[in-house]
Amino acid sequence: MEMIKNIFCVGRNFKAHAKELNNPVPTSPFLFSKPTHAIVEASGQVVNLPSDQGTIHYETELVLYIGKTYEKGMTVDEIVDCMAIGLDLTLRDVQNTLKEKRYPWLLAKGFPNSAILSKFIDFPGEKVCKETNFSLLKNEEKVQEGNIRNLIFDLQTLIDFCGNHFGLGKGDIIFTGTPENVGPLVNGDHLTLLWGDNVLGEVKVKIE
């Protein structure tokens, strides 16, 4: 696993996903963060998740790893060193309550093991990424599939937004957004993260 510093997550970056949760489609990038304690590598092990905080949803995403300090004018291919497929796990009932109160989402997004990451692979360039789908299998059935071609805000926009508003440096990662068909996890689910036809990570969830 690469050294990771800051975890930036982009919300509602696929129109179909925003609509399935009855959320407005954003007009500028919408970000939240997770603590580094949320990170766990998907290396075939059992991952413990909370059983007393309501439904946990999976959200599969392409994750960028920043390889150098951001400077204005840098392209995606210049600053991104490698990539992974990740799961932004969400306590959906908790999140809905927080939304109603107009509170930040940290309680719903930042719990331990809520940022599951596959192994990192070399970033092949934005063009190649648009030619390859990422997906999630749950118990060997494909439940989510996406392609960065369908992002509302493309990778360059995300890099510039994060770099200008927060700064970006080596070790930072960006969860770029999830496509539609997010759904609940139950105890014993086996999850497989794919880049094209290549398996990059697997975990089994324990919720009890």
pLDDT (tens digit per residue) in 184-204: 999 999 999 999 999 999 999
Average pLDDT of the chain? 95
Distance CA 92, CA 113 (A): 15
Cβ-proximal residues to 162 (8 Å cutoff; 6+ apart), any chain: 8, 31, 70, 168, 172, 174
Per the CB < 8 A criterion, the answer to whether 82 and 123 are in contact is: yes
On whether the CB atoms of residues 128 and 162 are closer than 8 A, the answer is no
CA distance 192 to 144: 11
pLDDT at residue 208 in the model:
87
Q: Which residues have C-beta within 8 Å of that of residue 75, sequence separation ≥ 6?
A: 156
Dihedral pair phi/psi, residue 180, rounded to 5°: -70, 175
Where residue 20 falls among pLDDT bands split at 50, 70, 90?
Answer: low
3-state secondary structure at position 141: strand
Percent of the chain past pLDDT 90, that is, above it, reads 90
What is the rounded CA–CA span in Å between residue 46 and residue 62? 22
Average pLDDT over residues 70-95: 97
Contact 205, 189 (CB under 8 A): yes
Mean pLDDT for 111-132 is 96
- Of 163, 205, 1, nearest to 71 by C-alpha is 163
Instruction: Please compute the mean of the pLDDT values over residues 74-99 and round it to a whole number.
Output: 97
DSSP string, 38-95: GEEE-EEEEEE--SSSS-EEE-EEEEEEE-S---TT--HHHHEEEEEEEEE-EEHHHH
Query: CA-to-CA distance for 49 and 120, rounded, in angstroms?
Result: 23
How much is the pLDDT for 21? Answer: 65
Position 57 confidence tier, pLDDT thresholds 50, 70, 90: very high
